[in-house]
Structure 1
Amino acid sequence: MLLFLKLINNLHILSYMKLSTSKFSLKVIVSGLSLLLLGFSIVAFEEPKISLDGYKIEEGFDLQIIAAEPNLKAPVSMDFDNKGRMWVVEMINYMPNLEGIGEEEPTGRISILEDLDHDGTIDHRKTFLDKLVLPRALAHVYGGLLYVDGPKLYFVEIKNDKPGKKTLVDPLYADGGNVEHSSNGLMMNIDNWIYNSNWNFRYRLKNGVWLKEPTSNRGQWGITKDNFGRLYYNNNSTNLQADFVLPNKVTRNRFYKPSVAENKKIASDLVYPISKADVNRGYQKGVLNEEGYLVSVTAACGPLVYRGGAFPAGYKQNAFVCVPEANLIKRNILNFGKTQTVAIQAEVGREFLASTDEGFRPVNLFTGPDGAMYVVDMHRGIIQHKAYISQFLAEKLALKQMDTLQNAGRILKITSKEIKGFQIPDFSKASSKELVGYLSHPNGWLRDRSQQLLIQKKDLSVVKDLIALSKTNSETGNGLHALFVLEGLNALNFNIISDIITNSTQPETIAHALGLAERFAIAANVPKMKTICDNLLARNDEVVDLYIPLSLQNWLKISEKTFMPILAKIDQKYIDQKIYQEAIVSNLEGKEEKYLSTMNPSKNLKNFLTTAIDNHKKNEMNSIYVKVKKDTDNRTKGLMLFRSICATCHGADGKGIQDLAPPLKGSEYIDGSIHRLAAIILHGISGPISVGGKQYLLNNDMPGMINNTSVSDEDIADIIRFTQNAYAKEGKNITASEVKKLRAQKPEGSGIFSEKQLLETEFER
Structure 2
Amino acid sequence: MTTKISFQRVFASILILSTFIAGFKIISFNEPKISLEGYQIEDGFELSVIASESLLKAPVSMDFDNKGRMWVVEMIGYMPNLEGIGEDEPNGRISILEDRDKNGIIDHSKVFLDKLVLPRAMALVYGGLLYTDGPKLWFVEIKNDKPGKKTLVDPIYAEGGNVEHSSNGLMMNIDNWIYNANYNFRYQLKNGKWLKEPTTNRGQWGITHDNFGRLYYNNNSVQLQGDFVLPNKVIRNKYFKPLIAEGQKLSNNRVFPIHQTSVNRGYQKDVLDEKGYLTNVTASCGPLIYRGGAFPNAYHQNAFVCVPEANLIKRNTLTFNSTQTTANQAIAEKEFIASTDEGFRPVNLFNGPDGAMYIVDMHRGIIQHKAYISQYLTEELSKKKLDTLQNAGRILKVVNKSTKLHPIPDLSKVNSKDLLVLLSHHNGWLRDRAQQLLIQKKDISIVKDLVALTQINNDYSTAIHALYVLDGLNALSFKIISDVLTKSKQPETLAHALVLTEHFAHTTNLAKIKLIFKDLQSQNNETIDLYLAICLNSWLKTGDTSLLSNLAQIEKKYADKQVFQEAIVSSLDGKEEQYLNTQNPSALLKNNLTLAISNRQKKELNLIFVKEKNAVDNRTKGLQLFRSICATCHGADGKGIQDLAPPLKDSEYINGSMKRLASIILHGLSGPITVNGKQYLLNNEMPGLANNKDISDQDIADIIRFTQNAFAKDGKNIAASEVKKLRDKKPLGGGVFSEKQLLETDFEK
**One fold, TM greater than 0.5?**
yes
SS at match of 2:521: helix
> 1:666: how far off?
2.0
Contact 1:274/1:355 (8 A) holds in 2: yes
Q: Report the equivalent of 2:436.
A: 452
Superposed counterparts of 1:505-544, under 5 Å: 505-544=489-528
Cα RMSD, aligned residues only: 1.7
> 1:29: how far off?
7.9
Contact 1:741/1:764 (8 A) holds in 2: no
Cα pair distance change 1:570/1:644, threshold 3 Å: same
After superposing the two structures, state which structure 1 stretch, 641-650 or 711-720, moved more.
641-650
Pair 1:291-2:267 in alignment: no
Q: Report the equivalent of 1:150.
A: 134
> 1:441: how far off?
0.4
SS at match of 1:429: coil
Q: Report the equivalent of 2:607.
A: 623
SS at match of 1:581: helix
Q: Report the equivalent of 1:490.
A: 474
The 1-side partners of 2:710 and 2:23 are apart by 51
> 1:750: how far off?
3.3
Superposed counterparts of 1:56-67, under 5 Å: 56-67=40-51
The 2-side partners of 1:125 and 1:708 are apart by 51
Q: Deviations over 1:395-453 (max 9, x none)?
A: 00001110000001000000010110000000110000000000000000000000000
For 2:707, give the aligned amino acid. Answer: T
Pair 1:89-2:73 in alignment: yes
Q: Report the equivalent of 1:695.
A: 679
Aligned sequence identity (%): 70
- Which of 117, 126, 131 is matched with 1:133 structurally? 117
The 2-side partners of 1:275 and 1:71 are apart by 29
Superposed counterparts of 1:615-764, under 5 Å: 615-764=599-748
> 1:71: how far off?
2.1
For 1:401, give the aligned amino acid. Answer: K
Cα pair distance change 1:159/1:509, threshold 3 Å: same
SS at match of 2:474: coil
The 2-side partners of 1:395 and 1:70 are apart by 29
Q: Report the equivalent of 2:419.
A: 435
For 2:665, give the aligned amino acid. Answer: I
Contact 2:289/2:301 (8 A) holds in 1: yes
SS at match of 1:261: coil
Pair 1:386-2:393 in alignment: no
Superposed counterparts of 1:156-171, under 5 Å: 156-171=140-155
SS at match of 2:588: helix
Contact 2:305/2:314 (8 A) holds in 1: yes
The 2-side partners of 1:30 and 1:648 are apart by 57
After superposing the two structures, state which structure 1 stretch, 497-506 or 44-53, moved more.
44-53
List 4+ stretches of structure 1 deviating above 6 A.
25-29, 31-36
> 1:699: how far off?
1.6
Cα pair distance change 1:208/1:35, threshold 3 Å: farther
For 2:738, give the aligned amino acid. Answer: S
Cα pair distance change 1:386/1:578, threshold 3 Å: same
Structure 1 gap segments, 5+ residues each: 1-22, 37-42
SS at match of 1:539: coil
Cα pair distance change 1:45/1:200, threshold 3 Å: farther
SS at match of 1:558: coil
- Which of 302, 313, 322 is matched with 1:329 structurally? 313
> 1:714: how far off?
0.2
The 2-side partners of 1:318 and 1:516 are apart by 28
Q: Deviations over 1:464-521 (max 9, x none)?
A: 1111111111111111111100000000111111111111111111111111111111
> 1:33: how far off?
9.0
Cα pair distance change 1:763/1:60, threshold 3 Å: same
The 2-side partners of 1:206 and 1:34 are apart by 43
The 2-side partners of 1:372 and 1:690 are apart by 61
Pair 1:51-2:51 in alignment: no
Q: TM-score, normalised by structure 2?
A: 0.97
Contact 2:265/2:374 (8 A) holds in 1: yes
The 1-side partners of 2:397 and 2:615 are apart by 37
Cα pair distance change 1:687/1:489, threshold 3 Å: same
Cα pair distance change 1:108/1:426, threshold 3 Å: same
Report how many residues are paired. 736
Contact 1:70/1:407 (8 A) holds in 2: no
The 1-side partners of 2:18 and 2:628 are apart by 51
Q: Report the equivalent of 2:174.
A: 190
Q: Deviations over 1:174-226 (max 9, x none)?
A: 11121100000000000000000000000000111100000000000000000
> 1:70: how far off?
2.6
Contact 1:93/1:102 (8 A) holds in 2: yes
Pair 1:269-2:258 in alignment: no
Superposed counterparts of 1:250-399, under 5 Å: 250-399=234-383
Q: Report the equivalent of 2:91.
A: 107
The 2-side partners of 1:54 and 1:133 are apart by 34
Cα pair distance change 1:210/1:31, threshold 3 Å: farther
Pair 1:546-2:530 in alignment: yes
For 2:572, give the aligned amino acid. Answer: L
The 2-side partners of 1:80 and 1:223 are apart by 16
For 1:562, give the aligned amino acid. Answer: S
The 2-side partners of 1:81 and 1:44 are apart by 22
For 1:481, give the aligned amino acid. Answer: H
For 1:634, give the aligned amino acid. Answer: N
Contact 1:366/1:373 (8 A) holds in 2: yes
Q: Report the equivalent of 2:447.
A: 463
SS at match of 2:47: strand
The 1-side partners of 2:556 and 2:545 are apart by 18
> 1:569: how far off?
0.1
For 2:705, give the aligned amino acid. Answer: R
For 1:427, give the aligned amino acid. Answer: L
SS at match of 2:546: helix
Q: Deviations over 1:674-706 (max 9, x none)?
A: 110000000000000111111111121100000
> 1:560: how far off?
3.8
Contact 1:73/1:90 (8 A) holds in 2: yes
> 1:657: how far off?
1.4
- Which of 583, 592, 595 is matched with 1:608 structurally? 592
Q: Deviations over 1:353-396 (max 9, x none)?
A: 00011100000000100000000000000000000000000000
The 2-side partners of 1:649 and 1:590 are apart by 58
Cα pair distance change 1:44/1:623, threshold 3 Å: farther
For 2:31, give the aligned amino acid. Answer: E
Structure 2 gap segments, 5+ residues each: 1-12
- Which of 208, 215, 223 is matched with 1:239 structurally? 223
Q: Report the equivalent of 1:477.
A: 461
The 1-side partners of 2:259 and 2:516 are apart by 57
Cα pair distance change 1:688/1:28, threshold 3 Å: farther
Q: TM-score, normalised by structure 1?
A: 0.95
Contact 1:530/1:562 (8 A) holds in 2: no
Q: Report the equivalent of 1:10.
A: none
